[in-house]
Amino acid sequence: MEIARFDAELTSALPGVGGEDQEEHGELAPLAAVLLRTESTSSSQIEDITAGAKALALATVGERTGPNAAMVAANVTAMQAAVAMSEDLSVDSLRAAHAALMAGQDYAAPGRFRTGAVWIGGTAPTPHTATFVPPHPSRVQATMDDLIVFCHRTDVPVLAHAAIAHAQFETIHPFADGNGRTGRVLVHAMLRAAGATRALTVPVSAGLLTDTGSYFDALTAYRDGDLTSIVSRFARAAFTGVTNGRVLTEQLQSLYATWEQSLHARRDAAAWTVLPLLIRQPAVTVRWVADHARVSQPAAQRAIDQLLAAGVLIPATANRRNRVWIAEDVTAALDDFAARAGRRG
């Protein structure tokens, strides 16, 4: 109920792309995009893949950043796939999400089930000291088929259903790498498929990130036959994530109100169209603004100049060609969200 309430109250909390325009162009309203990105970032952080909000924003517009930012950006793409996956949750759609997540990382065989043994825990080059050894690769396809049948049941409470499916996915460990992040994509696909969320990606991973030890302990307990621990952990994570998400939303709403007071431009100016877009994508180029605000490149440059004068944007790079501008107040709010969630590093 709390997840559904959060989804409903924030659906139109900030102006932005919506209605027929949203459907035609596949855009997410600002807060929906922000929460999807924060959830993707938190899910990556659980695996100790940490990237600051500024680095992620720059990676999203094609700027060179560290490898972690690129991996988190790929996780954003995979989380976006969860939205589409909710309408066709299948083994193939999970493999497609994994392919998006691990694109370019050949060692992980993106989109393909593992062909060798994997194990969790232990330091030896063999699984003899491991804390858990997932099923033999020859059994992965059958166990995944069984999991998808379970995912399509309608007689299990929504959050418990998603938590148990996630734990079973992690137990199967169907891929050579990227199982944790793909398994958390599955959670959001199931929440969307069940109608608990319609527009937002609730930051459940941010709630798990606050205490990863108990999350991993709950997965271990599940493998010993205890379902209660993982369901309870996801319930706590949902409340924690929603609380954190509300704080972030209030910060961004306050920031947006300040921007509106600072921007002195005609109401039909392109700068006003760009303003809400900066909430979901705080790093922009002239080309990005032209494409997403649907204006000419000269008009995009004028919009950036007006936002620069209003203090909304600052230059992020010194290059005169393909220069990037950034709304640092947004990235600061996103980093505050990560700090509350317990980001390490």
Query: In the prediction, which pLDDT does 11 show?
Result: 66
The domain limits of the chain are 2-246+335-340, 247-334
Q: What is the value of pTM for the model shown?
A: 0.84
Residue with tokens 């500024």: 54
Alpha helices in the chain (DSSP H): 2-10, 19-25, 30-46, 53-60, 67-85, 91-101, 140-151, 158-172, 179-193, 204-209, 212-223, 228-262, 270-280, 286-293, 297-309, 328-341
The residue ranking higher by pLDDT, 263 or 18, is 263
The two three-digit tokens of residue 28, written as one number? 């997410």
Tell me the sheet residues that pair with 326.
283, 314
Span 86-127, pLDDT tens digits: 788 999 999 988 988 888 889 999 999 999 988 887 777 777
DSSP summary character for residue 108 = G
Average model confidence (pLDDT) across the chain? 85
**2-246+335-340 and 247-334: same fold?**
no
- What Cα–Cα distance (Å) separates residue 318 from each residue in 7, 56, 312? 39, 18, 18
Just give the CATH number of 2-246+335-340.
1.10.3290.10
Span 153-165, pLDDT tens digits: 999 999 999 999 9
Cα separation, 211 vs 128, whole angstroms: 28
Is residue 237's pLDDT more than 90? yes
Is residue 15's pLDDT more than 60? no
DSSP summary character for residue 137 = G
Section 50-75 average pLDDT: 77
User: Would you place residue 28 in the very low, low, confident or very high pLDDT band (cuts 50, 70, 90)?
Assistant: very low
CATH class of 247-334: mainly alpha
